[in-house]
Amino acid sequence: MGFPKYSLLRTVTPSRKIERHMLHQSQMQAPDDRYRALRRLPPFPSVATKLLHLLEDDNVSVKKIVDLIKADAALTAELLRIVNSPIYGFSSRISSLQASITMMGFQTVRSFALTVCMKGFLHTALRIDLLRRIWRHSLACALLCDELSQVCSTNMGRDDHAYTAGLLHNIGSLGLFVAHPRTYADLLGEARGDSLLEKERSTLGIDHCEAGGWLARNWGFPDDLRHMVLTHHAAPRQGVFETADLVRVAVLMTDALGFAFVPPAQEHSLADLRGMLPREAQYRFDPELEALTARITARLDSFD
């Protein structure tokens, strides 16, 4: 089962020529000179890959997710540390995974679990300031996807598929930085949002969308998630709105709130970005810029 289609939002099978081309390119056998460094990256954590596939099943049991998380003691401990962060304001300490699910909800806990897995994968590399900025951009995008998924749903329900897509949309940049730390850092120091993909291709022979698509395929990500990684820099579409479009809006919003890791191609106001949402969602999503930025920042800090 792929990402859910919001009942508010009309959906179509992706058909843009550029999206087909990018998907085709990522599935071709990659020349060694373009992908050799990416091949040296460690495998994606197996528990995270299992979580991704379990999240594809809307009917997966709570017990199945809990058993998977509990099998990893380090993951369980880090989850409980985050849940007990002051930002969530529980009056007494939560000491078990089951209690955290009761207090925070199943969707929140499994989204947090995937975040902890991803952070653990990057591990000590997050001490590098630039890589940490890329990571915080990805996590901020996930948090915004989570909020936007609620306003784009007829029942105001959260969608952890959207959170997952936001968290992993930029794995190509993370991968390129880990594979080519000095070269990629220099490249990002010179790039703007409108020139980033071109500079990546001219310097490394591959851009971060293609790199992300390749990693997603080799790490066994679900097809819909791989497609979103490949196309997250496409413009949100008019007349249709599905998870990939939600992520595209969230990426622009992440930059607008100050979490960009390269200067954005175009400055967008929050009002501009609200206008890219479905009409019904625009009425539901009207936060103050400062309040939204503070809320996202506090939640980012809870994962540090």
Residue 252 lies in a domain: yes
H/E element, 23: helix 17-27
Question: In terms of domains, do 133 and 277 share one?
Answer: yes
Q: Are residues 105 and 142 in the same domain?
A: no
Q: What is the pLDDT of residue 85?
A: 86
Q: Which domain holds residue 261?
A: 128-304
222 and 295: one domain? yes
| 277-294 pLDDT tens trace | 998 899 999 899 999 999
Which tens digits make up the pLDDT trace of 171-216? 999 999 988 989 999 999 888 878 899 999 999 999 999 999 999 9
Place of tokens 């105001």: 156
Runs of H (alpha helix) within the chain: 17-27, 32-39, 46-55, 62-70, 73-83, 97-104, 106-122, 129-151, 160-168, 171-179, 181-190, 196-204, 208-218, 223-231, 243-254, 270-274, 279-284, 289-301
Nearest Cα neighbor of 9 from 211, 258, 279, 260 is 279
Q: What is the mean pLDDT of the chain?
A: 83
* 147, two tokens: 């909020």
Confidence of residue 296 (pLDDT cuts 50, 70, 90): very high
Q: 184 and 51 share a domain?
A: no
Would you say how long the chain is, in residues?
Answer: 304
Residue 49 main-chain phi, psi, to 5 deg:
-60, -40
Instruction: Looking at the structure, tell me whether residues 176 and 60 fall in a common domain.
Output: no
In a domain, 20, yes or no: no
- Hey, what amino acid is at 192? R
Chain centre distance of CA 48:
13
| 206-248: pLDDT as tens digits | 999 999 999 999 998 989 999 999 999 998 887 788 889 999 9
What does DSSP assign to residue 93?
Answer: -
Assess whether 79 and 181 both reside in one domain: no
Confidence of residue 19 (pLDDT cuts 50, 70, 90): very low
